[in-house]
Amino acid sequence: MQCILLAAGYATRLYPLTENLPKALLMLGSKTILDRVMEKINEVDDVENIYIVTNHRFAPQFEDWSKTYTGKKPVFVLDDMTTNNDNRLGAIGDMKFVIDKENIDDEILVMASDNVFDFSLNEMVRLYRKTGCDLISAHYVEDLCDLKQMGVVELDDDGRVTGFTEKPAEPKTHWGAPPFYFYKKETLALIDRYLKEGNNPDAPGHLIPWLITKTPVYAYTFDVMTIDIGTPKTYKEAQKLFD
Cα dihedral 195, 217, 147, 203 in deg (nearest 10): -20
Q: What is the pLDDT of residues 103-122, one digit of tens each?
A: 999 999 999 998 888 889 99
pLDDT value at residue 238: 85
Walk me through the domains of the chain, giving residue ranges and CATH numbers. 2-241 (3.90.550.10)
90, 83, 65, 88: which is closest to 75 by C-alpha? 65
Q: Cα separation of 239 and 201, whole Å? A: 31
What pLDDT, on a 0 to 100 scale, did the predictor assign at position 54? 97
What single-letter DSSP state applies at residue 84? S
Which residue ranges in the chain fall short of pLDDT 70? 243
Asked if residue 169 lies in contact with residue 149, where contact means CB atoms within 8 angstroms, the answer is: no
Q: How many CB atoms lie within 10 A of CB 243?
A: 7
C-alpha distances (whole Å) from 154 to each of 161, 180, 201, 202, 209 are: 6, 16, 22, 21, 10
Q: Which residues pair with 138 in a beta bridge?
A: 221
- For residue 185, the one-letter residue type is K
Which residues have CB under 8 Å from 6's CB, separation 6+?
53, 91, 94, 95, 110, 111, 112, 113, 179, 204
Alpha carbons 189 and 153: distance in angstroms, whole number: 23
What is the structure's pLDDT at 73? 96
Q: Please, is 190 exposed, middle or buried when counting C-beta atoms within 10 Å of its C-beta (0-12, 13-18, 19+)?
A: middle
pLDDT of amino acid 105: 96
